[in-house]
Structure 1
Amino acid sequence: MQLTGRAESSVRPAVPADAADIARVQGIAWRTAYRSLLPPSVLDDWDDAAVADGWASSLATPPTPAHGVLVALEGPTAVGFLAHGPAEVTAQDPASPDGPTAEVTALLVEPRWGRRGHGSRLVAAAVDLLGATGVRRLQMWVPREDPVTSGFLESAGWAPDGWSRTLDAGTTTIHEHRWHVLLGDDEGPG
């Protein structure tokens, strides 16, 4: 008799040994979701080993103590990740009046593992982790051409905050909108 059941899903802080899995998830997710958005050379010249080396270095020696990466697991398999760090503050974009702010710099789930709660678990873990450090607001830049991520964030209680930016990606221009959520807000996660 064969037993069936759902594999255990979890989220934990990433370690340098996760770098190859993070690079794999990033490469697959970018090729699937951003093929029409990124310059072809970015995806055609993708080097899993080089990307994994970059992640290993970042995980071993984060740029600041406020930087981190969480990895989503389905059983023992890494299926997604969330990277975070301090929000950039500039003269044009001053510190939030809502309090200390962290930025989600990447939130990716390998498409074949989508719609199984991994993105929600990653965001919930980030809210718990960062909220405990005094962060009161999370924000994330999302390409205008990425309705999947925008829809996911909206369903999780996030909203656009009115800020937009344009990134020059060589042969293309990427237009992004910033989304945010207040931690501890009765209407949002926390």
Structure 2
Amino acid sequence: MADAGVQTATAADLSEIVRIHRETWRLAYAELLPPEVLDALDTDDAWSHAVRSSAVLKATEGEWTVGFVVASKAPEDEVARADGALPEDAETTALVSVLVEPRWGRRGHGTRLLAEAVKRLHETGATRGIAWVPEADKASRNFYERLGWTGDGTVRTLDAGGRPLREIRVSGPLEVRLGD
């Protein structure tokens, strides 16, 4: 394998992050989301702020950007229990989302991305992480489960262009050990 690494994404990486997001979702979620929802991923507006605020890290292999993670303090509405109450650790809970292009999968990029995000989140005082995963996305659920994150019982259903998309929230410690 060529040199693999993780760096802070910059504005120059924006188009590649948008491409990875769009292409990976089109491949992974074609059965879950209607085409018009997947087509709406073509805009970079949603990513501009995240990249400028340094909340996005990119994974590279050689000269290629192969994935990314978005990690920051979890907004209250994302960390709240189903009844709306906030857990005691709401202020130290981080929201993360890891995405690696399938053709670059199973090479450790996701784990490296999350390990670096965890390191940076610890510096901000974060103690626990959460992520939302489509219930039918077994690959993402398995990724988080291998890291000790499990479903915490919170489920949401999003309107995905008239088609319901059921997501589960996984939660776990901000600890990631890289293999030797």
TM-score, normalized by length of structure 1?
A: 0.82
Confirm whether residue 56 of structure 1 aligns to residue 43 of structure 2: no
Confirm whether residue 151 of structure 1 aligns to residue 142 of structure 2: yes
1:157/1:189 contact within 8 Å kept: no
The alignment's C-alpha RMSD in Å is: 1.9
TM-superposed deviation, 1:119: 0.5
| Alignment counterpart, residue 69 of structure 1, candidates 49, 56, 65 | 56
The whole-number CA distance in structure 2 between the counterparts of 1:56 and 1:108 is: 17
Amino acid at match of 1:137: R
Note the residue ranges of structure 1 that are not aligned, 5 or more in a row. Answer: 1-5
TM-score, normalized by length of structure 2?
A: 0.87
2:73/2:126 contact within 8 Å kept: no
Confirm whether residue 137 of structure 1 aligns to residue 128 of structure 2: yes
Q: Corresponding residue for 2:95? A: 103
Q: Corresponding residue for 1:3? A: none
SS in 2 for 1:38: coil
Confirm whether residue 25 of structure 1 aligns to residue 20 of structure 2: yes
Q: Which has the higher helix share?
A: 2
| Alignment counterpart, residue 34 of structure 2, candidates 31, 39, 51 | 39
The whole-number CA distance in structure 1 between the counterparts of 2:164 and 2:124 is: 35
The whole-number CA distance in structure 2 between the counterparts of 1:44 and 1:56 is: 18
* Comparing 113-122 and 164-173, the one that deviates more: 164-173
TM-superposed deviation, 1:154: 0.5
Amino acid at match of 2:161: G
SS in 1 for 2:148: coil
Percent identity among equivalent residues? Answer: 44
The whole-number CA distance in structure 2 between the counterparts of 1:133 and 1:45 is: 33
2:132/2:170 contact within 8 Å kept: yes
Confirm whether residue 88 of structure 1 aligns to residue 82 of structure 2: no
SS in 2 for 1:177: strand
SS in 1 for 2:87: coil
The whole-number CA distance in structure 2 between the counterparts of 1:46 and 1:88 is: 22
The whole-number CA distance in structure 1 between the counterparts of 2:84 and 2:104 is: 35
Deviations 1:79-105 (A, max 9, x none): 00011222122473433324610101x
The whole-number CA distance in structure 1 between the counterparts of 2:39 and 2:160 is: 15
Q: Corresponding residue for 1:177? A: 168
Amino acid at match of 2:95: E
2:17/2:67 contact within 8 Å kept: yes
TM-superposed deviation, 1:157: 1.3
Aligned ranges for residues 109-128 of structure 1 at < 5 Å? Answer: 109-128=100-119
